[in-house]
Amino acid sequence: MSPCSDLADLPLISVVIPAYNAELWVTRTLSSVLAQTYRNLEVWVIDDGSIDRTAVVVEQIIQQDGRVRLIRQANAGVAAARNRGIQAATGDWIAPLDADDLWYPDHLAQQVACAQAAPPTVGLIYSWSIDIDAADRPLQGFHAAEIHGSVYPTLLCHNFLGNASCTLIRRSVLLAVGGYDQQFQARQVYGCEDWDLYLRIAAVAEFQVVPQFSVGYRKLTQSMSYQFDRMARSHALMLEKVRQQCPQLPPLLYRLSRSSLYLYFAHQCSAFQDDRQALHWLRAAVRADISPWFRLGTYVLAAKSGFNLRRSRSTVAQPLDQATSVTQKGVPAKLPSRLKLGLKLLVGKTLHVSLARFDVAIPGVR
């Protein structure tokens, strides 16, 4: 899609950015949005009761680009902030973005091209993302899948989208499923609001994928163990909701979901050299389900973390490549190897095919 296309011929995309004490990041985030090759967009920043200079920074950017708008509200949580932005949005498609993440220049152009080619049964389009550090440099982690169509059982077992900043969602579908669930905030559990939304969308619409790394998903080390404990409680609430809505689903899917999430926590802790927490979540994963025993990575992770603990290495040291630039020709400068990417895609496809038979039991799925 040419950046020089007549904007009147292109759909308006509403970017929704919830921001709470995001002064440190929001300039970089907004810069990545305003640098998109796709130009027909409006940007709604919802300041969710920040006590830093977030609003001041955003107002300065508004003076430079009229596509950015600011809404201020008392602190009500990320779900309420996103819903406020969705209510204000006027575009037919909504593009959520967290206030510390980044988009690479062709992100929206690729997703809009996919949306225009998609049938009306498609309600959500996602792109691949790569983890970045506090200085925008790529880390080792990434999220990639080629799963599309009817995805509910697979999505329940594994959040293959990976984060809240990689999607383009049809506004009518968002409104039909009720937006983000603010119950998580009310019950003081956070972290799975986006996964919960994706599941409700998957119950009524199909997914499509843009197989390109176009999102930088920021990973920081602060209070990692606390964040994972909190997300585990949020995940439990999400599964409780699914059980109420779809009581016919087999327990296997819930076990796989817990085990997959805990294994992800373990790998994240290992990547940041927090070996004690890595072993904690690895034990939780194998207690939840036997599937980790069939993965070579489980044994490698256990051996690595155990060895590091015996060597009494320091924990939570962030692995950075100091020589890596942030971007190169509009994409992350450091991408996963073909082998790693190929294995990731193969595992995802295998899981999706093996769970496809459960689709017929899900209310609302075609």
Q: Is 6 exposed, middle or buried (0-12, 13-18, 19+ CB in 10 A)?
A: exposed
**Where does the chain hold its CATH 3.90.550.10 domain(s)?**
9-218
- Read off the pLDDT of each residue in 153-169 and give the average, rounded to a whole number: 97
- Read off the pLDDT of each residue in 164-179 and give the average, rounded to a whole number: 97
Handedness of CA 2, 6, 11, 13 (dihedral sign): positive
pLDDT at 293: 84
Q: Are 132 and 216 in contact (CB under 8 A)?
A: yes
pLDDT at 222: 62
Q: Which residues pair with 19 in a beta bridge?
A: 47
Of 49, 37, 218, the C-alpha closest to 112 is: 37
Residue at 229: amino acid letter? D
* CATH ID of 9-218, from 3.90.550.10, 1.10.1200.10, 3.30.70.980, 1.10.3720.10: 3.90.550.10
- Its pTM stands at 0.90
Establish how many alpha carbons lie within 13 A of residue 160's alpha carbon, considering only the half-sphere containing its beta carbon: 29
pLDDT at 362: 55
User: What is the distance between the terminal CA atoms of the chain, rounded to a whole angstrom?
Assistant: 31
Q: Are 141 and 270 in contact (CB under 8 A)?
A: no
Confidence class of residue 297 from pLDDT cuts 50, 70 and 90?
confident
- Read off the pLDDT of each residue in 211-219 and give the average, rounded to a whole number: 96
* Whether the predicted pLDDT of 64 surpasses 50: yes
pLDDT at 323: 34
Q: Are 230 and 189 in contact (CB under 8 A)?
A: yes
Confidence class of residue 75 from pLDDT cuts 50, 70 and 90?
very high
Phi/psi at 150 (nearest 5 deg)?
A: -90, 115
- Rounded to the nearest 10°, the torsion over CA 154, 148, 182, 79 is 130
Percent pLDDT > 70 in the chain is: 89
pLDDT at 290: 86
